[in-house]
Amino acid sequence: MKKDTLSIIVPCYNEEDVLPISSEQLLNTLHELIELETINENSKLLFVDDGSSDKTWEIISNLYNSYPKNVVGIKLSRNYGHQKALQAGMETVADTADMIVTIDADLQDDLQAIKKMLQKFNEGNDIVYGVRENRETDTFFKRNTALGFYKMMGKLGVKLVPNHADFRLLSNRAMKAVLLFKEEDPFLRGIVPLVGYPSTKVFYDRKKREAGESKYPLKKMIRFATNGLTSFSLIPIKMIRNMGFLTLLIGILYIFYTFYQKYIGDSVHGWSSIIMSIWILGGMQLVGMSILGEYLGRVYSEVKDRPAFIIEQKLERD
Ligand code: UDP
Ligand code: MG
């Protein structure tokens, strides 16, 4: 029976601290799977260096030199971000891999879960989501912001798999479908469920980062969340519209109140309400405009149709 070829895609951004440990474990897992004849012997580990400024690329090059058969390295010309690094990896193996697994370089995700994923794949699933069973290793802050994020996205009608990050298996056709989404700033967690095809989940415990620091500081997290929201939901725009109608209604009622005050009540008062209205309306308009601006900005970057990434170097035996 012909065995399927697996590519494990590992995005790496300044991971010199953890890469020596994680690459060894990843190679062990890959070799084990090959020996067990679960996957084809041409299966590969694909390291994507996302414009690191430390020794990451050097480590990847050494790995390639030691294991040219099972290691592929690509180096992006600068830091494009986690999601684009994954996209670059998928595009690189789109014609060779029967299935891919994407996993972080920091070993927070359980390598043993890959076996379960392959089993689910063999049962006919195109997409297998890795879902964290606990988030105890995350900080209190990260845990709660993440929870809030999933809740908000759910309310806004965006389909996401809760507690699933970018640890997942995709079949070749699912991967190709994901690559058809040519968005400028892809949010894969939102895109993958839109692809369809049979899918399932595998549960695992998320561990602490083996070494190095999180590459998602608060600023990046906020950008990631905003991006996820504005790429998939138009509800914020509808919210402005509703807010506008409500404001209008209050304004109309206010006219009646003003007339009442003028002819029946005491017309000298009212300065405070006027100044308050100015401030409230001004504030609302600014908020509304900023949300609209966000969408406009997206349209702008989308129509420019820039290449999603540029590969600078590639290490691969033909
Ligand atoms: N990463 C990347 N480019 C970036 C930021 C992160 O390729 O600009 C990689 C990083 O090396 C890691 C993965 O994306 O393999 C997830 O990042 P990290 O572990 O820092 O995120 P966290 O687990 O803290 O959410
Ligand atoms: Mg991590």
As a whole number of Å, the end-to-end CA separation of the chain is 24
| Residue matched to tokens 């759910």 | 154
Cα Rg for the chain, rounded, in angstroms? 25
Q: How far is the CA of 139 from the centre of ligand 2 (A)?
A: 12
Query: Quick one: 205 exposed, middle or buried, by C-beta within 10 A (0-12, 13-18, 19+)?
Result: middle
Q: How far is the CA of 82 from the centre of ligand 2 (A)?
A: 11
The two beta strands, 44-49 and 71-76, are parallel
Ligand 1: list residues with CB < 6 Å: 11-13, 15, 50, 79, 81-82, 85, 104-106, 108, 214-216
| Best residue among 102, 215, 216 to mutate for probing ligand 1, ranked by most atoms within 8 Å of CB | 215
- Could you identify the atom of ligand 1 that is nearest to the CA of residue 13? 11
Of 308 and 125, the one with more pLDDT: 125
**The CATH homologous superfamily of the domain defined by 6-232+306-315:** Spore Coat Polysaccharide Biosynthesis Protein SpsA; Chain A (3.90.550.10)
Looking at the CA of 16, name the nearest ligand. Answer: 1
49 contacts 57 by C-beta, under 8 angstroms: yes
97 contacts 6 by C-beta, under 8 angstroms: yes
Name the residue type at position 274.
I
| Other CB atoms within 10 Å distance of the CB of residue 264 | 8
Q: What is the pLDDT of residue 90?
A: 96
Look over the chain and give the mean of its residue pLDDT values, rounded to a whole number: 85
CA 178 to the chain's CA centroid: 13
| Other CB atoms within 10 Å distance of the CB of residue 302 | 14
**H/E segment holding residue 12:** strand 6-12
- Could you identify the atom of ligand 1 that is nearest to the CA of residue 11? 7
CA 39 to the chain's CA centroid: 27
Residues 6+ apart with CB under 8 A from 266: none
pLDDT tens-digit readout, 1-57:
578 999 999 999 999 999 999 999 999 999 999 998 889 999 999 999 999 999 999
d(CA 101, CA 117): 9
Average pLDDT (129-147) is 81
d(CA 291, CA 236): 7
| Best residue among 13, 54, 137, 139 to mutate for probing ligand 1, ranked by most atoms within 8 Å of CB | 13
165 contacts 82 by C-beta, under 8 angstroms: no
d(CA 208, CA 254): 57
Average pLDDT (248-273) is 73
Average pLDDT (204-231) is 79
Domain ranges of the chain: 6-232+306-315, 234-304
Q: Kindly tell me if the per-residue pLDDT of 152 is higher than 80.
A: yes
Q: Kindly tell me if the per-residue pLDDT of 277 is higher than 90.
A: no
Q: Whose CA is nearest to atom 2 of ligand 1?
A: 82
* pTM for the model: 0.80
Six token digits for residue 206: 């998320």
Q: Which of 14-28, 193-207, 278-292 holds the top average pLDDT? A: 14-28
Six token digits for residue 95: 């014609």
- Tell me, letter by letter, the H, E, C secondary structure of 251-264: HHHHHHHHHHHHHC
ipTM comes to 0.95
Task: Supply φ then ψ for residue 218, to 5 degrees.
Answer: -50, -40
Helices 19-35 + 56-66 axis angle, to 10: 30
- Could you identify the atom of ligand 1 that is nearest to the CA of residue 214? 20
Q: How far is the CA of 151 from the centre of ligand 2 (A)?
A: 22
Q: Whose CA is nearest to atom 8 of ligand 1?
A: 81
Percent of the chain residues topping a pLDDT of 90: 44
Residue 85 pLDDT grade (very low, low, confident, very high; cuts 50, 70, 90): very high
